[in-house]
Amino acid sequence: MSKRKITILYVVPPTRSFAGIERVTDSICSALATEYAEDVAVSVLYTSPFEQIVGHVRPYNVVLSFASGRFDLLRRVRRVVAEGRFDLVVVPQVEATAVFWLCCLGLRRRFILYLHGNPRLERRSPMAKVLFEVMRFLVLPRLTRIFGTSPRQLEAFKADYPSEVEHVWVPNPVRSFDRPTPDHRDRGSAVRFVTVGRFAYQKGYDILLHAFAAFCRERDGAQLSLVGYGEDEPAIRTLIDQLGLSGRVTIEHYPDSPATPLSRSDVYLSGARWEGWSLAICEGLRFGLPVVAFDCEFGPSDIIVDERIGRLVALDDVAGFVAAMIYYHDNVAAERRHAEYRARYIDQFSLDKVVHAHAQALLAAVD
């Protein structure tokens, strides 16, 4: 007699772009549905019409339900959760988990909070503060598990929100890429710095541009590519002009894969004010690039564990960040000897490896 599959629903709250949380959910659920087809039946509820999902076939069950407002969203989520009779409901972020748990009262479903980002910095609005307190006093004791993308993130959350709920690290998967045609450059070509991410306050593009302007006063010729898109792009373009960097900084948009800009760059920069992990840093390492990153909460310090990988700089130390940029600029050829090590190191977070950690965490949650 065959055993019953565990039924799991991941809920993706409404967002504007198919980025970190959305991409991770799609990757993990695809791998779970493929590698653990005999153990789990995976569904993902998408509440935004992402062009990467709508009309595309996935190994998991895609549930599309686009709301016309907040109350309609809650009604739709409750209906999907109720009709599916899921064993587990996995929701990213504190606020969304609190809201969706409340809207599913009476359904007796086991919820998992899936932390991304930095909960310490996500209580900015009055509503967010209310929902975090709802999480603390009402929802948290009734959760089945808490998943997180970083060991330090989980430690901080447990310290700030103590509970008996088990906290489990489930690493984010790092994509593998088809390598573009190698970019052959002459000896002495300009050093290319690169960063990838949403154009948003969290990612610290303003800090990064000021650091690059200071670097340019010390070294000539280097280029910086900002790869991404988002609501802060107009402000970023204005700052580039104000700092006199229009000839040194380019803005590029590669919505599906950063392989092209990463493959033609020399050094990866992260100016983020906070992270949950940092897939972008990992993808830079996938291409053998050394990383200069601020030691923000959380993620970078979990990844950059020795100087062959890169350099961590205190969050407010812009001068230290510039000094690290100068070091890699002046030693770019010598640092390439560690490129293969960086690529091998980050392979531990490949999808075919981390899917097993996710599967074991989910299966243990229903034992």
Per-domain residue ranges for the chain? 6-173+350-365, 192-349
Within the chain, residue ranges assigned H as helices are 20-35, 70-84, 94-103, 126-134, 151-160, 205-216, 233-242, 259-263, 279-286, 300-303, 318-330, 332-335, 339-346, 351-365
Q: How confident is the model at residue 120 (pLDDT cuts 50, 70, 90)?
A: confident
Q: How confident is the model at residue 2 (pLDDT cuts 50, 70, 90)?
A: low
Predicted local confidence at residue 180, as pLDDT: 61
- Summarised one tens digit per residue, pLDDT across range 270-312 is 999 999 889 899 999 999 999 999 999 888 999 999 999 999 9
Query: Residue 342 pLDDT > 50, yes or no?
Result: yes
Q: Do domains 6-173+350-365 and 192-349 have the same CATH topology?
A: yes
Among 275, 353, 273, 347, CA closest to 309: 347
> So what CATH class is 192-349?
alpha beta
Predicted local confidence at residue 20, as pLDDT: 82
* Of the listed ranges 40-49, 75-84, 272-281, the one predicted with least confidence: 272-281
Predicted local confidence at residue 124, as pLDDT: 79
Predicted local confidence at residue 320, as pLDDT: 98
Predicted local confidence at residue 182, as pLDDT: 56
Phi-psi group of 244: left, alpha or beta (phi > 0 → left; psi -120 to 50 → alpha; rest → beta) = left
Token readout for 77 is 């989520």
C-alpha 321/C-alpha 211 separation (Å) is 7
Whether the Cβ atoms of residue 301 and residue 261 lie closer than 8 Å to each other: no
Predicted local confidence at residue 177, as pLDDT: 83
| Average pLDDT, integer, range 14-20 | 84
C-alpha 364/C-alpha 2 separation (Å) is 19
Q: Supply the mean pLDDT for the chain.
A: 93
Share of the chain above pLDDT 90, in %: 83
Predicted local confidence at residue 333, as pLDDT: 93
Among 206, 349, 228, 335, CA closest to 286: 349
| Average pLDDT, integer, range 334-352 | 94
The model's pTM: 0.86
Predicted local confidence at residue 286, as pLDDT: 94
| Average pLDDT, integer, range 212-220 | 96
Whether the Cβ atoms of residue 146 and residue 165 lie closer than 8 Å to each other: yes
Peptide bond into 298 cis (omega under 30): yes
Q: How confident is the model at residue 1 (pLDDT cuts 50, 70, 90)?
A: very low
- Summarised one tens digit per residue, pLDDT across range 153-180 is 999 999 999 999 999 999 999 988 876 6
Whether the Cβ atoms of residue 193 and residue 218 lie closer than 8 Å to each other: no
Q: From the options 3.10.310.40, 1.10.3720.10, 3.40.50.450, 3.40.50.2000, give the CATH code of 6-173+350-365.
A: 3.40.50.2000
Q: Is the pLDDT higher at 223 or at 183?
A: 223
Q: How confident is the model at residue 145 (pLDDT cuts 50, 70, 90)?
A: very high
